[in-house]
Amino acid sequence: MATRTELALPGTEISAIEWHDQQLVLNIQRFFLYVALSGSAEQTQWSQSGRLVVEQAEVEGNLPVCPCTLLHGDIHDNQFLYRDQAPLPLDVHGEVAVVLTIADTDTRVRIAGERIYLDAIGDRKYIAHVRP
C-alpha cells in the first residue's frame, strides 16, 4: 500500500540562514512531517533536520534573526500553492517561492527563485500516532 508524506511548516525551527552564490539555504534544526497510508485519515508524526534550499534566490522583506520558529509557511510551485504543508519529496522548479511568517514577531519574508528543494539530514524521529 502506498504512503503519503507531507512536510508541515508551522513549528519548523530554523537555526541559521546562509547565502552560497545565488542559493539561499535555511538550515533547519527540526521540521515536522506526517506519514499516512493512502486513503487513511490516521497519520504518524515525525521530526527531522535538514536544509531548505532556494536556487537563484531573490528576497522580498527582511530575513529573520535566527534561531527562529515558523508560525506559517507557504510554498508556491508555479500555479500551485501549498499552505502550511507540502508533499514530500520536495523538489520544485520554475516560478517558485517560499513565504515564511516567523512566530512571536511581525517578520514575513518571501524568497522567490527557480528551484526549491528540501534535503533531509539524518534519521526521522517518531513523535506520535495522530488520529482525526
d(CA 56, CA 50): 19
Q: What is the DSSP letter of 63?
A: P
How high is the pLDDT of residue 47?
A: 97
- Closest to 6 in 3D by CA, of 88, 79, 76: 88
pLDDT along the chain (132 residues), means of 10: 92 96 96 90 95 97 96 96 96 97 95 98 96 84
How high is the pLDDT of residue 13?
A: 98
d(CA 117, CA 52): 6
How high is the pLDDT of residue 60?
A: 96
d(CA 43, CA 5): 9
- Closest to 25 in 3D by CA, of 61, 78, 66, 71: 66
Residue with cell 531548505: 52
pTM attached to this predicted model: 0.93
What's the domain range around 97? 3-130
Number of domains making up the chain: 1
